[in-house]
Chain A
């Protein structure tokens, strides 16, 4: 059962990283236009210069 001493903190840290990244995406407004972003990737126009 000693393995739990590693596994539980590891899983919490990984989950926490995921949460951190999510909060970052919320703060940088990446959910303002989900539909538009989903379609922009279909166009080759933004391949070299992502739309700001």
Chain B
């Protein structure tokens, strides 16, 4: 390893600067490493203890701490212990685990913006409580100098508190005004500032009414909304980033001396010779120059059947090499590779997606101008009526305070926090703020096949038609290979309690199969062309014993956990379910029949999928696309809302709005239900907030609104809205 990482300067002139850089890196790197694992299935104290105890028992692990809120564990280890060593331990303890990038995580652990908001929230809460104590004394009858004293103390607390706490609103309002727009923060800032100004004026004149408590309570409630909003977003964003950082793209390049060096994929050039080991993924487009193997193209095309590869075969980035080592000459790298052409397709699809306006923005668009007009009218009216600037200003401030969107500011964040918290516990991660609203509108669900409805893992189906001695030979041969079909066969045969026959000289012929000698006869397990088998419409491997005709072992793709339930529940819920796959017609048809999916489409190219989704959208359908492969990314980006499993490729996860953290598909129908209820709660909350305004605004305009009524209306509406949101949990 070190020999390839640090080539002698003579071998590669470009590397002469490397030793210095490496020394720097070694000095900067901490001696002990930190490993982060995502644990989508943990949920209780017993799980936490089980994971921590299992990890603490591993040599080299210093400390493990589970974070149940984020569903992850951070492990402090000695250098040299990697996630690959720890994941089997956690899985052995019975929990699913995925590696997370600790450096991407470091950025989110110190969530500056979140803590900043929390500080402001704390200060606002402190100030609001103290001022409320003083205000209650005033409301219950303090008079004369006592009242003035209380007002002055309130001013002394509130002015610095607002100057600190309300900065986020002032900043947003200012930038909106400079751009010539109105947003929610403009009426908020105006209400706070106007309330402070009139209250100070009243206090200097020993007036009866001061709205210091209202100004600070307003800030407190709105900051609560902001903080909830921020928390939901940052949890989603950090997790999405970590997932995106999962695959660190590296390639093995052959250098002149015949040695291999590890390089970043971005550094590759056309003409480079690359070594791709069995199980490895093609980093670039290219042509095979050496070696024989089979390729798994399922992530690119959805085909489940492995393809034979030999010198001269063209390969595309993203394909997986299955059996033998291959040497590939790069023909297209970076922007020109088929991976990037796929990304271009995604961009086109994304630009086609209708610009969705979230409910909150719709409400704000109606609300902000309305409030200003109402308040200005109250001011002008009262000024004309009384010719008293002080009265008119007081009433205008009261109108602004009463209408101020405390409840509106909480209406959406409180609901999305509750809903995404609930979905997160079910193993769904909402990446996009408006995804819930869009998910609620879905009436058509499009599934990809390979890797989404199925595990992308073959399962043998016709063992019963074989004689036991044949199965024993098949097991002996299958154990000699790491090919996915062979491994699946081994598992299935072992599960039946079959012991391997004594087969000698078992050798794997890359790209063809395994061969051996049994009782003096040649036995082969492998591709049809090599074993002399016939044709078979599904994925199959062939067993040939001596000169007898080869027999087919048929495979089908095993269903993903929860797939049947999910499809069933969606169909019962009256949704239109469509299966779209790049796989062959028989494979797609059999799966569609197994799951009772009425509509399906086979041998679909990536562009076909995107076009079909677009056509459905044009017909007025709201499409939910569920897919994992590169061939799905354009359709994912083009659909109204999209979901991908955590096992999906980067590109697919980036293009989708929601990521399924666990293996099971079962939470899908529930997610749709939660989304619908969440949207209903948001609308209800808007309704509640409006009703409070309808009752309180006439009072304010009539000049009957005392600070007590303002405080009651504000707190009551905010609390009702939050409680309504909590019904979702």
- Whether B126 pairs with A15 at a CB distance below 8 angstroms is yes
Residue of B nearest to A12 (CB): B130
User: Within the complex, what minimum Cβ distance (angstroms) separates A28 from chain B?
Assistant: 11
- Whether A1 pairs with B68 at a CB distance below 8 angstroms is no
Number of A-B contacts (CB under 8 A): 57
B342 in contact (CB, < 8 A): no
Residue of B nearest to A43 (CB): B45
Chain A interface, number of residues (Cβ within 8 angstroms): 26
Identify which of A12, A15, A26, A39 contacts B68 (C-beta below 8 A): A39
> Which residues of chain A in 5-52 are interfacial with respect to chain B, using CB atoms and an 8 Å cutoff?
8, 11-12, 15-16, 18-19, 22-23, 26-27, 31-36, 39-40, 42-43, 45, 51-52
What separation, in Å, do the CA atoms of A36 and B126 have in the docked complex?
27
B67 in contact (CB, < 8 A): yes
B5 in contact (CB, < 8 A): no
- Whether B65 pairs with A52 at a CB distance below 8 angstroms is yes
Identify which of A34, A45, A52 contacts B63 (C-beta below 8 A): A52
- Whether B130 pairs with A11 at a CB distance below 8 angstroms is yes
Residues of chain B within 8 A of A31, CB atoms compared: 118
What separation, in Å, do the CA atoms of A26 and B109 have in the docked complex?
13
Known: A11-B133, A33-B68, A34-B69. A19 touches B126 (CB 8 A): yes
- Whether B68 pairs with A36 at a CB distance below 8 angstroms is yes
Identify which of B49, B69, B119, B130 contacts A32 (C-beta below 8 A): B69
Known: A36-B66, A40-B48. A15 touches B129 (CB 8 A): yes
- Whether B45 pairs with A42 at a CB distance below 8 angstroms is yes
Residues of chain A within 8 A of B190, CB atoms compared: none
Q: Categorize the interface residue count of chain B.
A: 20 to 34
Identify which of A11, A18, A36, A52 contacts B48 (C-beta below 8 A): A36
- Whether B126 pairs with A33 at a CB distance below 8 angstroms is no
Residues of chain B within 8 A of A1, CB atoms compared: 146
Residue of B nearest to A40 (CB): B45
Residues of chain A within 8 A of B68, CB atoms compared: 33, 35-36, 39
User: Within the complex, what minimum Cβ distance (angstroms) separates B69 from chain A?
Assistant: 5
Residue of A nearest to B118 (CB): A26
B29 in contact (CB, < 8 A): no
Q: Could you tell me which A residues sit within 8 Å of B by CB distance? A: 1, 4, 8, 11-12, 15-16, 18-19, 22-23, 26-27, 31-36, 39-40, 42-43, 45, 51-52
Q: List 18 A-B contacts (CB under 8 A).
A: A4-B146, A12-B130, A16-B126, A22-B126, A23-B122, A26-B119, A26-B122, A33-B67, A35-B68, A36-B67, A39-B44, A39-B68, A40-B48, A42-B45, A43-B46, A45-B49, A52-B63, A52-B65
